[in-house]
A and B are shown apart, each in its own frame.
Chain A
Amino acid sequence: QVQLVQSGGEVKEPGASVRVSCKASGFNFINYQIAWVRQAPGRGLEWMGWVSPYTGRTQYAPNVQGRVTMTTDAPTTTGYMELRNLSPDDTAVYFCARGVSSGRGLWFGPWGQGTLITVSS
């Protein structure tokens, strides 16, 4: 079945970087995008961006542009999200999701289980 499995949670100090992985299975990896969405504790969903495994093209949300890099590795069907210069405001559960192209944006399904990133000194 279609599945996305993410790496485990991490605790980081302010100013550090984190990389989260997202292993996809059950579908043709290069035919979809890998999107990333985060959810701060007790808060709503915030779109961060997406990457195309086929072209390598990316699109990032303005609030993380410049600090985030999203990549994929097609042979291992894995997506990656690196976020740099972390601050406590980046504490959140980070989700990857399969992005389905609509001709404009993407809808997201299914989702990975989530990865809790805690930023604290």
Chain B
Amino acid sequence: DIVLTQSPDSLSVSLGERATINCKSSRNIFGGPNSQDYLAWYQQKPRQAPRLLLYWASTRESGVSDRFSGSGSGTHFTLTIDRLQAEDVAVYFCHQYFDTPATFGQGTRVDI
């Protein structure tokens, strides 16, 4: 199975500042028929279902604020949240869909 390791496990960021979350894959997840990175990012607020933020490592889902951006390729990826707002307090997960079984990172908790 492909293992995704996120860092840090948690971080505290001041309002208006930037949060950076890393996701490292145990295998290269670039390629496939689309020549893309098969990585998604989700946000899970307390007592809510996860919400899709990004797919193809950097493509924002419809309706997602442009304060959320993704970067990286191959085995190292980053989710950046610019100008952090109170509503961004959540746990963030990366997810690879390159191989079966699909796997998720362990999550990174972001608070103020």
Contact = CB atoms under 8 A, between A and B. Distances in A.
B70 to A, nearest CB: 12
A88 interface: no
Given A105-B97, A109-B51, A44 B33 contact: no
B49 A105 contact: no
17 contacts: A44-B104, A44-B106, A45-B42, A45-B95, A45-B104, A47-B102, A47-B104, A59-B100, A97-B50, A102-B55, A102-B97, A104-B32, A104-B38, A105-B96, A108-B40, A108-B95, A111-B51
A106 B97 CA distance: 6
A8 to B, nearest CB: 15
The residue among B100, B105, B107 with the most chain A CB atoms within 10 A of its own CB is: B100
B8 to A, nearest CB: 15
A61 interface: yes
The 8 closest A-B pairs by CB, nearest first: A109-B52, A105-B97, A111-B49, A47-B102, A103-B33, A45-B104, A107-B40, A107-B55
B34 to A, nearest CB: 5
Interface of B: 32-34, 36, 38, 40, 42, 49-52, 55-56, 61, 93, 95-107
A109 B36 CA distance: 19
A62 B101 contact: yes
A103 B104 contact: no
Given A102-B32, A106-B97, A107-B40, A113 B49 contact: yes
Given A100-B55, A102-B34, A105-B38, A44 B93 contact: yes
Interface of A: 37, 44-47, 59, 61-62, 95, 97, 100, 102-114
- Name A's interface SS: strand
The residue among A37, A104, A107, A109 with the most chain B CB atoms within 10 A of its own CB is: A107
B107 A110 contact: no
Nearest to B105: A44
A37 B42 CA distance: 13
A103 B42 CA distance: 20
B78 to A, nearest CB: 18
